[in-house]
Amino acid sequence: MVLCLPIAIVGFMGLCLGMSRHQRDVLGRVLSPMRSALCKAFGWTALASSFALAIARDGAAMGAVYWAGMLSLAAVLVALWTTWFSRR
Amino acid sequence: MKEGLRQSMAWLHTWVGLLFGWLLFAVFVTGTTAYFQDEITRWMQPEIAGERNLDASAEGALAYMKTHAQGAESWTIQLPNERSVAAMGYWKEKGETFRQWRDHAFMVDGQGRKVDARDTTGGWLLYRLHFDLHYVPVLWGRWAVGLAAMFMLVAIVSGVITHKKIFADFFTMRFGKGQRSWLDAHNLTAVLALPFHFMITYTGLVTLMSQYMPWGIPAAYEHPADYYRDHLGAGEPPKRSGIEAPMASLSDMIRQAREHWQGAEPGFIAIALPGDAHAVVKITQDTGAAMGTRGETLSFDAATGAMRRLPPVKGGASQTESVMVGLHAGRFAPLALRWLYFFSGVMGSAMVATGLVLWTAKRRQQLPDPLRPHVGFRLVEKLNIATISGLPCGIAVYFIANRLLPTGIPARVAWEAHWLFIGWGGVMLYVFLRPPRRAWVEALAIAATAFLAVPLVDAATTDRGMLRSLLAGDLVFVAFDACMLVTAAAFGWAAWTVHRRPAATRHATRRGKEAVA
């Protein structure tokens, strides 16, 4: 849980920064398709690792429940993070 | 039928959502509080303090019933779980229905002493509201909630189909853009917690499946009682022998149960025909001991203390049901996961609330005369305000009533519940008397004030106020009061935002008119 949540947040940040709309908001410029793809790949890898970590710690059943709940929290935090940028 | 799939799904989503939205909001909000049911009950019985001790409170409750309930049909002890302190005992006299148990209920603390706590239903009331409603027969309430849940599934599926850019808009939340912002908020709260929404709606229907889909039982069982015996481990009730026999040690039976369950704790003890030679003690595993919520029930001969034959191992379907119900109620969840459940519940409540507001936001521009909306629009708008700020306000009033109603008055429990609805109804009445925009601001402000008042009234009427609890390290009370303050802040912020929002033309004109009038 302690490590899982930050990893999921970073993962969603990666996915988010792979999208041109959010690149404009957060970075102020649009990344090349190559870099966007890299961001996305990184994001998916991080999300997958957070899942693996949750399963390793709490077992398949409990880990999956934890992970699903945590995923929602992480995604909301990242959405608010991009919103904060777009409002500035 | 010329229109496309997406349009027809949008229509379905809009009207199903509107029709069941108010009920679903109440179900989501009360269900969310139910994840902290035990903590709420603790807060609502400030007389009970200390640590839990399962064995001591079981023995204490037993001793109390031995002196006060000789000859009763049954004695029951609801043991405290990990998150509560006190045990509750109650007995049933011959000829009484099960529902009269409240007349003989009492609380026992962790040292086995009976405590005179104020009479309250605590978090249980909100938990029952979640699927039974109130003031209506339980079966009707469950049908209404079940129907709403089934249409919630319809709304989830049609909503996903309607949503044009589920991935492109995944992280998108634009504030201050009117209808666009409401749509963003609705999408965000719906999509980002979609696994929870789907799981909770589906498993919610499973919790009451024997009511909603009763035909399976008579198809497979000649006597429905056999189904309950197989599924819930409810055995044949013993017959009275008429011979008195003292009971063997309850603590020893608890020890045997623990051993059998490899350390999992018991949660529920039912003693049939106490004092009789044929008395049976049934010990059920704590519902939170595993993800599957229907723990095993072990039976003991009360006179000898020996375990009777083991219940049959549950079949796959039965265990699946048990896990689904467990997943819904989250009784197994440790604290961190419990907060995630709570967070998801808040997301669900917000999803329904933003969906309801969106209905009006979308239609406001299309009104022929925005100054005089038709009666349907006005009704929806008022009901939205009355539900979204009224129900939470009612809950705050319920907490305040718990502190202010004198102990020992007749029907105290009923009055606490009445106050919830007086609070809610009061806001509703107020909202219907005010122009919509003012109604939003004022109803939200009233709710904020009510939540702010909870910790203040608590500090003024008990010795377990926030500051003292903090000094005493009593985190349940601190967290409860902190939640009240956070909720108050959220409602206050919402009221302030609506108040400051640049008025649309229609509002400007309306206020101009008011000024003239």
Fill in the amino acid letter for B425: G
Q: In degrees rounded to 5, what are phi and psi of residue B267?
A: -125, -20
Q: Return the pLDDT at B504.
A: 53
For residue B384, is it within any domain? yes
CA–CA dist B407, B416 (Å, integer)? 11
**What is the percentage of chain B residues whose pLDDT exceeds 90?**
78
CB contact under 8 A, A87 and B196: no
CB pairs under 8 A between A and B: 63
CB contact under 8 A, A83 and B174: yes
* Mean pLDDT value across chain B: 91
pLDDT digits (tens, 9 = 90+) for B65-89: 999 999 899 999 999 999 999 999 9
Domain tally, chain B: 3
CA–CA dist B159, B21 (Å, integer)? 14
Q: Are residues B418 and B473 in the same domain?
A: yes
CB–CB of B455/B466 below 8 Å?
A: yes
For residue B352, is it within any domain? no
Burial of residue B109 (CB within 10 Å: 0-12, 13-18, 19+) is buried
Q: Are residues B428 and B501 in the same domain?
A: yes
Give the nearest partner residue to B192 out of A65, A66, A76, using CB atoms.
Answer: A76
Contacts of B234 (CB under 8 A, 6+ apart): B225, B228, B297
Q: Return the pLDDT at B503.
A: 57
Beta strand segments in B394-507, E: none
Q: Which two tokens stand for residue B378?
A: 């006005």
**How many CA atoms lie within 13 Å of B94's alpha carbon, on the beta-carbon side?**
5
Q: Is pLDDT at B148 greater than 90 in this prediction? A: yes
Q: Are residues B435 and B485 in the same domain?
A: yes
- Chosen for mutation from B167, B171, B337, B497 (greatest number of chain A CBs closer than 10 Å) is B171
CA–CA dist B503, B495 (Å, integer)? 14
Q: Return the pLDDT at B184.
A: 94
Q: Is pLDDT at B293 greater than 50 in this prediction? A: yes
* Mean pLDDT value across chain A: 93
Q: Are residues B228 and B259 in the same domain?
A: no
One-character DSSP codes across B206-231: HHTHHHHSTTHHHHH-SSHHHHHHHH
Q: Are residues B219 and B266 in the same domain?
A: no
A46: domain range?
4-87
Question: Which strands make up the sheet holding B266-272, listed edge to edge?
Answer: B114-115, B105-108, B87-92, B74-78, B266-272, B280-285, B297-301
Q: For the beta carbon of residue B503, count every other beta carbon within 10 angstroms.
A: 12
B228: domain range?
1-45+120-232+324-332
pLDDT digits (tens, 9 = 90+) for B308-337: 888 778 889 889 999 999 999 999 999 999
Complex prediction ipTM: 0.95
Within an 8 Å CB–CB cutoff, is residue A13 touching chain B?
no
Q: Return the pLDDT at B516.
A: 40
Q: Is pLDDT at B175 greater than 70 in this prediction? A: yes
Q: Is B28 helix (H, G, I), strand (E, B) or coil?
A: helix
CA–CA dist B360, B332 (Å, integer)? 40
For residue B318, is it within any domain? no
**Residues in chain A with pLDDT < 50?**
none
For residue B466, is it within any domain? yes
Q: Are residues B2 and B142 in the same domain?
A: yes
The secondary structure element, H or E, covering residue B285 is strand B280-285
Q: Are residues B203 and B260 in the same domain?
A: no
Q: Which residues in chain A are contacts of B171 at CB distance < 8 A?
A: 12, 16, 19, 22, 75, 78-79, 82
Give the nearest partner residue to B171 out of A70, A71, A78, using CB atoms.
Answer: A78
CA–CA dist B350, B327 (Å, integer)? 21
Nearest residue in A to B339, CA atom: A69
Would you place residue B510 in the very low, low, confident or very high pLDDT band (cuts 50, 70, 90)? very low
Q: Return the pLDDT at B502.
A: 64
For residue B353, is it within any domain? no
Q: Are residues B477 and B501 in the same domain?
A: yes
Nearest residue in B to A2, CA atom: B336
Vertex B398 angle, CA B394 and B401, to 5° = 130
B349/chain A closest Cα distance in angstroms: 15
- In angstroms, the first-to-last Cα distance of chain A is 32
For residue B35, is it within any domain? yes
Q: Return the pLDDT at A1.
A: 62
For residue B359, is it within any domain? no
Q: Is pLDDT at B506 greater than 70 in this prediction? A: no
CB–CB of B343/B188 below 8 Å?
A: no
Beta strand segments in B109-240, E: 114-115
Q: Return the pLDDT at B234.
A: 63
Q: Which two tokens stand for residue B452?
A: 């702010």
Q: Are residues B226 and B238 in the same domain?
A: no
For residue B339, is it within any domain? no
Nearest residue in A to B174, CA atom: A83
Q: Are residues B387 and B505 in the same domain?
A: yes
B contact residues 177-196, partner A, Cβ 8 Å cutoff: 188, 192-193, 195-196
Would you place residue B443 in the very low, low, confident or very high pLDDT band (cuts 50, 70, 90)? very high
Contacts of B33 (CB under 8 A, 6+ apart): B40, B123, B126, B127, B395
Q: Are residues B277 and B224 in the same domain?
A: no
pLDDT digits (tens, 9 = 90+) for B97-125: 767 777 789 999 999 999 999 999 999 99
Domain tally, chain A: 1
Q: Is pLDDT at B383 greater than 90 in this prediction? A: yes
A14/chain B closest Cα distance in angstroms: 12
